[in-house]
Structure 1
C-alpha cells in the first residue's frame, strides 16, 4: 500500500482549520516569515500586497495553520538556519541544499497559500467558482509534496528538482533584500554577508544555464546591483524556458522518492527560447530603478547592453569594488 498524503490543490482546500502541509485539523499557527528575521530587521509592521494589489497584509499578520508536528519540524529547521546565518556566507554555503529549499519554500508557499485563500474568498463573494489550470495544479501540487519532506518519509534521489546558488554579498547591516515569485516558484534573499537565489522547481535547468557566470563569481563578493542582475538572469531564464520540469515520483510502503527527469529537447525546440535583450532590459529596469538606472541606460545604440557582472568585450567578471554605487 502506497503512502497517501494531503494535496490541497486537488480540491483547493485552504481553510484555517486545516494544517497547510498535512491537512490535519488544528488550532496552531506559525509565521510565514521567520520571527527572528522579522524582529532583527524590524519589518513585521511593513505591508506586503497580494498580486492584484487590492489586498495587503503586514508581514507579521501572515500566519499559516499548522499541526504541532509541522510547527516543531519548522522550529528545528529554524535553529539550523539561524546557526548557519550567524556564520555568514561560509555557514550558509555549508548547509544541505534541501534545508535551503525547505526554508525558502516555507516563505514562498506561505505567500502562495495567502494568494489561494484570497482568490477563493474573492470568488465566493462574487458567487464564482474558484479554479486553477491543470498546469498550476500540477506545479503547486508537486511543490507542496516536496515541502512535505520536512515531516514525511519523502526523499530526493539523483538529480534534484531545484537550482540554488549561495554567494558572498555586500550590504548595509540594516538592509534585507527579499523577493519571491509565487507563480513560478522563485526566491531571492540577501543580507550583509551572503545572498542566495532559488528556483524551487526547475530541475536544475536554470542553474545549468547560469553555470558560466556562477563560476566566474567564485571568490568574489557581490555588490547589490550585481545581485539584482543575477536574479534577473535567473528570472528571465525561467520566463523563456520552453519545457515543463518533469519528475519521477515513486510511492511505496516505505515512502516516496522524487527524482528530477533531465530535459531532452528535440532538434526543433531548444530548452530555452530566444533571449530578447529588449525584454531583459525592461526587467532590469524594474530591478535597477532604485539606482536611477533606466532602460535607455541599459540599451544604447551600437553598444553592448549594460552589465555589472561582466565586462562588455572580454566577459571578465567585474570586481564589486570598482562599482561606484551605494550598497
Structure 2
C-alpha cells in the first residue's frame, strides 16, 4: 500500500469524529449490534455491562463513528449474513469464513472500542494517563488491520488467524444467547437453529485443540447446555494458551497479504498450559447457572467432572435428545 493503514492503537485514538475503521473524519454512525438482529430478538432496550461491571449500556445505544463507505460496506455484509441467517444452520455454515470473521469482528471490536473509551474517561477523571501494554497494542492492532479487509485490498493466505465453527443448535425461537471476551477477542452466539463460536486471534490453535469434540458433534443438533459447555472449553483453552500468535504481513503498492503462522511448541513449553479441572468447573458453573448447576455439582469427590458433551468414562458423544433439560 502506498501509505500505512489507520491503526487507532498506535496513538490510542478513539474519537467520535473519526471513523473507527478507516480513521476518516465523519459524522455518520453505525450500531455495534446489527439493527436487524436487535429488532428480530427485541433486545435493543436490554443492557450490557462493561468488563468491570460498574458501567452498562443499552444495546441500541452502542454506536460507532463510521465513514459513509465503511457504513455501506457493513450494510452489504449485513445483507449477506441476514440472508444466510434466514436459511438457518445450512445458510450460515455455507458462508465464507472471512465474512463470519468480519461480521463477528465488527461486534467484538465495537464492544472493545467502548471498553477503551470507558477506561480512558475513567482514568482522565482520576488525573491518570490511559495506556495499553505493548502486547495489547499489537494484538488489537492486528485485529483492527484484519477487520479492515472489509474495505481494503487485504487477503488472508495460508493458515487463517481465527478459529470459527458453526453448528446446529436447538433453542426456543425467541432466545438469543450472546457471550464475548473482548480482551481475548472471543465471540459466541446461539439462536434457534445454529450456534457460532469464534476465536478471532488464535491462528487456529484453539479450534485444532477442540477438533475432536467438534467432529463428534457432527450430525447432531446441540442442546443449549452442550453449547454452553463447548464455548466454555474454547474460552478456557484460550486462558491456558501460552503462545503469542505471529503473522507475516506483506504490503505492496496495491494490497496487503496476511499469513498466520502455525502455533508450534518451542522447547519444553507446550502450546497450552495444564488443564485445571477446578478452574474450568468455576468457569462452566457461570455458564450453567441458568440450569441451577453449581461448581460442586460439576466436581464431585472421586468422580470425573460432569459433562453434557462426552461420557466421562467412554468419551462417547452424548446424544442431545437424551438430555432431560429445558431449551
For the aligned pair, the TM-score class normalised by the smaller chain equals over 0.9
Q: Where does residue 305 of structure 2 map in the other structure?
A: 305
Task: Map 1:1-327 onto structure 2 (within 5 A).
Answer: 2-327=2-327
Q: Is the 8 A contact 1:3 1:256 kept in 2?
A: no
Distance 2:266 2:52 in 1: 37
Deviations 1:91-120 (A, max 9, x none): 000000010001000000000000111111
Distance 1:224 1:279 in 2: 22
TM-score w.r.t. the length of structure 2 is 0.99
- Structure 1 residue 124: Cα displacement: 1.6
SS of equivalent residue, structure 1 residue 116:
helix
Q: Is the 8 A contact 1:2 1:255 kept in 2?
A: no
Q: Is the 8 A contact 1:46 1:58 kept in 2?
A: yes
Distance 1:124 1:108 in 2: 24
SS of equivalent residue, structure 1 residue 130:
coil
Structure 1 vs Structure 2 CA RMSD: 0.8
Q: Is the 8 A contact 1:143 1:201 kept in 2?
A: yes
Distance 1:282 1:111 in 2: 25
Distance 1:304 1:54 in 2: 37
- Structure 1 residue 252: Cα displacement: 1.0
- List, as ranges, runs of 4+ consecutive aligned residues in structure 1 with deviation greater than 6 Å: none
- Structure 1 residue 2: Cα displacement: 4.2
Distance 1:36 1:289 in 2: 29
- Structure 1 residue 267: Cα displacement: 3.3
- Structure 1 residue 3: Cα displacement: 3.9
Distance 2:263 2:175 in 1: 38
- Structure 1 residue 266: Cα displacement: 2.2
TM-score w.r.t. the length of structure 1 is 0.99
Q: How many residue pairs get matched?
A: 327
Distance 2:247 2:267 in 1: 22
SS of equivalent residue, structure 2 residue 227:
helix
- Structure 1 residue 312: Cα displacement: 1.6
Q: Which residues of structure 1 form unaligned runs of 5+?
A: none
Distance 1:109 1:122 in 2: 20
Distance 1:51 1:313 in 2: 37
Deviations 1:158-195 (A, max 9, x none): 00000001000000000000011000000000100000
SS of equivalent residue, structure 2 residue 152:
coil
